[in-house]
Amino acid sequence: MQPDDLIESLRARRLLAIVRGTDPDAALDTVLALFRGGVTLVEVSLTTVGALTVIERARAALGEGAALGAGTVLTPADARDAAAAGASFAVTPGVTAALDQARESGLPVLAGVATPTEVALALAEGATALKLFPASLGGPGYLKALRDPFPAAHFVPVGGVDARAAAAFLAAGALAVGVGGPLIGAAAHPGGDAGLPGRIEEFLRVVEEEQPCSTS
């Protein structure tokens, strides 16, 4: 995946699902269920038990064209391992040493930021888009404030984003929203979560109804 491809995927799909769990088989089932349900931009956090194997198996099942990324990429080794497992993009919780290695490995990066200084640093380091994290701290108003000095930056709020907050962040100019627990629930843990299909429908409805806001 090229950087422009990640931007266009975020712009078109508007919802990045974040899978994090304790059961590799359940995590894989969750990834596949998301794609079947229409959420076709998915990140598997490397904190998931067996995350690299989950990415490998999901890639084999979904094919090369699926927008499947690795999250919580902290180190250069994480970035190399994610690329080898078949991830097509990397997501970091901050501006970490993994950013340069991810780009060298051919992975566009959604880099975690929380302050204007971190935004400037991430952009200077070549981040493709910016994960505003934890988004719940500042809310949509903080996103609007950050967009003033960085009008060309592409922001994806993550952290505490439920369906109502997703609509508000998109209205405030987010390119997309990243959603973990409020969407995934317990699906990636032993026993799964029968409510996942209903939440998929809810979030897809939200992102489809909220009209895109210009992000320059």
Q: Which residues belong to the active site?
A: 43, 131
Q: What share of the chain is helix, strand, coil (3-state, %, to 5)?
A: 45, 15, 40
Is 198 buried (19+), middle (13-18) or exposed (0-12) by CB count in 10 A?
exposed
What single-letter DSSP state applies at residue 36?
H
Distance CA 216, CA 208 (A): 20
Q: Are 19 and 188 in contact (CB under 8 A)?
A: yes
Alpha helices in the chain (DSSP H): 3-13, 24-37, 51-62, 76-85, 98-104, 116-124, 139-147, 163-171, 181-184, 196-209
Omega before residue 197 within 30° of 0, cis? no
Task: Name every residue whose Cβ is closer than 8 Å to that of residue 142 and which is 6 or more positions away in sequence.
Answer: 132
